[in-house]
């Protein structure tokens, strides 16, 4: 038997915010009734302040799923959408005084339902729509490859048991466990290689760092900017700040800040060093 905390049992027996918000402008649903777990979250978000003024849930699942959903709604009610998104599944588990390892997927489901509701509020494509539903790895619980990969990366999982506990994939017949192991090994291997490259950058001389940044800008940043009529010049490196100058249509563009953050800085973090930031001269 699992050891549940008093807080967890209270939220199971006396769930808060149970039901559905009638005038909701944000709705998110995850899971599948045929697989034993499903959660629907509905919210009323103030469109001027972005504050969650009302939130309710309906869930089909075990006691941990009910408690985790109840805890999540209590945690985010009255917060802005941005503040709510900062709540992690581990925060939900901590709020309940802990969850058995085998039930961690309930807190993950809560976090994902909230993210789906926010995407619905913002008019963005849902995670489920982004996933290739034909690429299901776990047929018992309809868990796709993308979902497994996403959870492994977000939760920094390194053990097959953790992947099963956090995604529920592999906890049925177990036939998909070899495939899950391959996905885990590939991601962990890439992560270790990335960490090794990060350490190499730290140990480089200033000249070597500048040469590497310039090389990666030429190979990974400029081609994308040039495809839209823009360009960029690498000016200098000051500590962890990469100073650049936007050129072409990028210079003076209203979206230049987004370009620096979402393209230039993102690619430099990915291909050079994750602690680097980018500023325009």
Q: pLDDT category, 278, cuts 50, 70, 90?
A: very high
Residue 252: predicted pLDDT: 78
Q: What percent of the chain stands above pLDDT 90?
A: 60
Q: Which of 48-57, 76-85, 133-142, 218-227 has the lowest average pLDDT?
A: 133-142
Q: pLDDT category, 133, cuts 50, 70, 90?
A: low
Domains annotated for the chain, with CATH where assigned, are 6-186 (3.90.1010.10), 204-280 (3.30.300.130)
pLDDT tens digit string along 137-169?
998 888 889 989 999 988 889 899 999 999 999
Rounded Cα distance, 202 and 4, in Å: 45
What is the pLDDT averaged over residues 7-32?
A: 94
Residue 130: predicted pLDDT: 54
Q: What percent of the chain stands above pLDDT 70?
A: 95
pLDDT tens digit string along 199-214?
889 899 999 999 999 9
Q: pLDDT category, 244, cuts 50, 70, 90?
A: very high
Question: How many C-beta atoms lie closer than 10 Å to residue 216's C-beta?
Answer: 18
- Length of the chain, please? 281
Q: pLDDT category, 264, cuts 50, 70, 90?
A: very high
Residue 36: predicted pLDDT: 66
Residue 254: predicted pLDDT: 75
Which of the following is catalytic: 35, 62, 140, 253?
Answer: 35
Rounded Cα distance, 88 and 90, in Å: 5
Q: pLDDT category, 196, cuts 50, 70, 90?
A: confident
Tokens of 106: 């309930």
Please state the pTM of the whole predicted model: 0.64
Query: What is the residue-wise DSSP string for the chain?
Result: -----HHHHHHHHS-SSBS--TT-SEEEEEEEGGGTEEEEEEEEE-TTT-BEEEEEEEEES-HHHHHHHHHHHHHHTTSBHHHHHT--HHHHHHHTT---GGGHHHHHHHHHHHHHHHHHHHTPPPHHHHS-TT-EEETTTTEEHHHHHHHHHHHT--SHHHHHHHH-TTSSS-TTHHHHHHHHHHHHHHHHHHHHHHHHHHHS-HHHHHHHHHHHIIIIIHHHHHTTTEEEEEEEEETTEEEEEEEETTTT-TTHHHHIIIIIIHHHHHHT-TT-EEEE-
Evaluate if residue 91 carries a pLDDT over 90.
yes
Mean pLDDT over all residues of the chain? 89
Q: pLDDT category, 131, cuts 50, 70, 90?
A: low
106 is catalytic: yes
Question: Which residues lie closer than 8 Å to 16 by C-beta, 6 or more apart?
Answer: 70, 73, 74
């Amino acid at each position: 038997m699992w050891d549940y905390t008093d807080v967890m049992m209270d939220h199971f027996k006396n769930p808060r915010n149970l039901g559905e918000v009638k005038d909701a402008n944000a709705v998110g649903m995850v899971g599948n009734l045929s697989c034993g777990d499903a959660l629907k979250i509905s919210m009323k978000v103030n469109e001027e302040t972005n504050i969650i003024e009302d939130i309710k849930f309906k869930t089909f699942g075990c006691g941990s799923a009910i408690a985790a959903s109840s805890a999540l709604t209590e945690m985010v009610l009255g917060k802005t959408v941005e503040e709510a998104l900062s709540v992690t599944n581990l925060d939900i588990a901590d709020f309940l005084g802990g969850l058995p390892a085998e039930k961690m997927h309930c807190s993950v489901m809560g976090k994902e339902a909230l993210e789906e509701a926010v995407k619905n509020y913002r008019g963005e494509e849902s995670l489920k729509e982004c996933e290739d539903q034909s690429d299901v790895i776990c047929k018992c619980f309809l868990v796709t490859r993308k979902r497994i990969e996403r959870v492994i990366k977000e939760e920094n999982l390194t053990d097959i048991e953790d992947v099963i506990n956090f995604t529920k994939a592999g906890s049925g017949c177990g036939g998909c466990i070899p495939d899950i192991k391959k996905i885990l090994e590939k991601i962990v291997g890439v992560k270790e290689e990335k960490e090794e490259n990060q350490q190499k950058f730290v140990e480089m001389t200033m000249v070597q760092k500048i040469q590497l940044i310039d090389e990666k800008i030429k190979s990974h940043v400029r081609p994308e900017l040039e495809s839209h009529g823009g360009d960029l010049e690498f000016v200098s490196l000051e500590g962890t700040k990469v100073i650049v100058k936007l050129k072409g249509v990028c210079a003076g563009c209203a979206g230049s800040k987004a370009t620096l953050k979402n393209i230039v800085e993102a690619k430099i973090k990915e291909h050079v060093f994750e602690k680097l930031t980018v500023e325009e001269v």
